[in-house]
Structure 1
């Protein structure tokens, strides 16, 4: 499935988009390391840092057969939260921590519309998905609140999902999910408030449900904090007939808590 994963080709040597290093690719080696650093020991289910062994994620990625796709096995939980109440998504692949250069980049894309920074990030995230052995059939993103979409004028997670679909050679399904009701802004809410805020707030649109049935879905977002947004979206995808959901995010903004 990864035959279409390729290097992003830039027309000519220029400068690093982050530090301005002349003669470097779009992201130089030093900035690449800073953007993509993660603690070595993390729960493969939710991404939460844990003091245990390596991820071992490839064994939990799922596989296809001649008869069709099989159900995505969930990654083995290694944190207390996932052992008690695991999220609906089977696992998460993350590029880096929401701090420093990556935090600045995510905010530049989301709030200032600097989407030219997305292609190098998408390429790095695609490579991490490959390294994690993640198998999926199509790509989509959680729905964005209409008020926020009007304010920003763009949907960063959807743009990232589109680029990942191209890099990974998989169909892109925009607008697969929609809001069923208005929700409060997640910023500033506690983990419990976030979960209540999003519970039952997403559903698959009818035309997308037909394409989701029996498929393994890669669910793409920009930042994961408590995991509530991805959990609510994953539940809607599974309710529509998807056989498994794996999450892919640019930045991790904190430890996950138990989900109801």
Structure 2
């Protein structure tokens, strides 16, 4: 007899575990059938794993999650704990246009594989896992937030790619946290060149004036705590451009949450 049907004695009475409902049995059968047809694969290396949306032990060990202590403004790792509100030299010398930034993991070889799989490989099954890690890493910036705002794509790039990876992450993050998802607040007013390979100054120039707030959404910005969501934070030029637009529209607080961020060296700061 299986354990689920074994009789147990509780306070002198025989007790049997309830039998699974018809719906539960059908759900379990459906899951087993899907696992047989489409075996769960590691999100990074694609070897078979025990469940969907998971990493194999080898890939899990290579993901460099960003843990405390971090700079309170930039979210970059600090060499040692300086106490609450500690700032890195970069945050003091060049304060960002946003209030705080947090990221789940470093944009290194392992992190790049996940980001590129989602962004360029059309592997939307990666998004829920990244969003769950972001929710954990971004607890501070998500607390009290009024809305999540994905960094937008220009419509021509969205048409070609078919989805916005930042919007996908925001959608799942909203489902996890219950914070409102506002994907139509920011619009990319003009198409910009790809940022890859550009210096920070070139990136800032490239995205200057590229974003605006939809007229019908301006009332949703004023006085609110907003969290900008993107897949990766590199120099911060795109995020800075978005933050400036939201700040001019009257946002009370602007935080940033990404799946990954570039960090040069063990404890480098990089905006």
The two structures have a TM-score, normalised by structure 1, of 0.77
Deviates more, 1:118-127 or 1:28-37: 28-37
Is the alpha carbon distance of 1:132 and 1:245 closer, same or farther for their aligned partners in structure 2, counting shifts above 3 Å? closer
Q: Which residue of 1 aligns with 2:186?
A: 177
Is the alpha carbon distance of 1:253 and 1:147 closer, same or farther for their aligned partners in structure 2, counting shifts above 3 Å? farther
From 147, 150, 168, give the equivalent of 1:138.
147
Give how far 1:12 is off.
Answer: 4.7
Give how far 1:194 is off.
Answer: 0.8
Secondary structure, counterpart of 1:23 in structure 2: coil
- How many aligned residue pairs are there? 230
Deviates more, 1:149-158 or 1:126-135: 126-135
Q: Which residue of 2 aligns with 1:71?
A: none
Secondary structure, counterpart of 2:190 in structure 1: coil
For 2:216 and 2:87, the matched residues in 1 are separated by: 37
Give how far 1:55 is off.
Answer: 7.1
From 46, 60, 71, give the equivalent of 2:74.
46
Is the alpha carbon distance of 1:257 and 1:93 closer, same or farther for their aligned partners in structure 2, counting shifts above 3 Å? closer
Cα deviation 1:172-198 (Å, max 9, x = unaligned): 111211223342221110011111222
- 8 Å CA contact 1:95–1:128 kept in 2: the answer is yes
- 8 Å CA contact 2:100–2:141 kept in 1: the answer is no
Instruction: Name which one, 1 or 2, has greater alpha-carbon Rg.
Output: 2
From 191, 203, 206, give the equivalent of 1:194.
203
- 8 Å CA contact 2:75–2:101 kept in 1: the answer is yes
**Is 1:128 aligned to residue 148 of structure 2?**
no
Q: Which residue of 2 aligns with 1:27?
A: 54
Give how far 1:139 is off.
Answer: 0.7
Is the alpha carbon distance of 1:132 and 1:197 closer, same or farther for their aligned partners in structure 2, counting shifts above 3 Å? closer
Consecutive unaligned residues of structure 2, counting only runs of 5 or more, are 1-27
Deviates more, 1:86-95 or 1:20-29: 20-29
For 2:147 and 2:67, the matched residues in 1 are separated by: 28
Q: Which residue of 1 aligns with 2:160?
A: 151
Give how far 1:48 is off.
Answer: 3.0
| Structure showing greater relative contact order (alpha-carbon pairs closer than 8 Å, 6 or more residues apart) | 1
For 1:130 and 1:160, the matched residues in 2 are separated by: 16
Cα deviation 1:121-180 (Å, max 9, x = unaligned): 111211222366633111111221334323312100011111111111011111211223
Q: Which residue of 2 aligns with 1:17?
A: 42
Is the alpha carbon distance of 1:85 and 1:168 closer, same or farther for their aligned partners in structure 2, counting shifts above 3 Å? same
- 8 Å CA contact 2:185–2:213 kept in 1: the answer is yes
For 1:127 and 1:219, the matched residues in 2 are separated by: 16
Secondary structure, counterpart of 2:183 in structure 1: coil
RMSD of aligned residue pairs (Cα, Å): 2.7
**Is 1:105 aligned to residue 114 of structure 2?**
yes
- 8 Å CA contact 2:154–2:189 kept in 1: the answer is no
**Is 1:81 aligned to residue 95 of structure 2?**
no
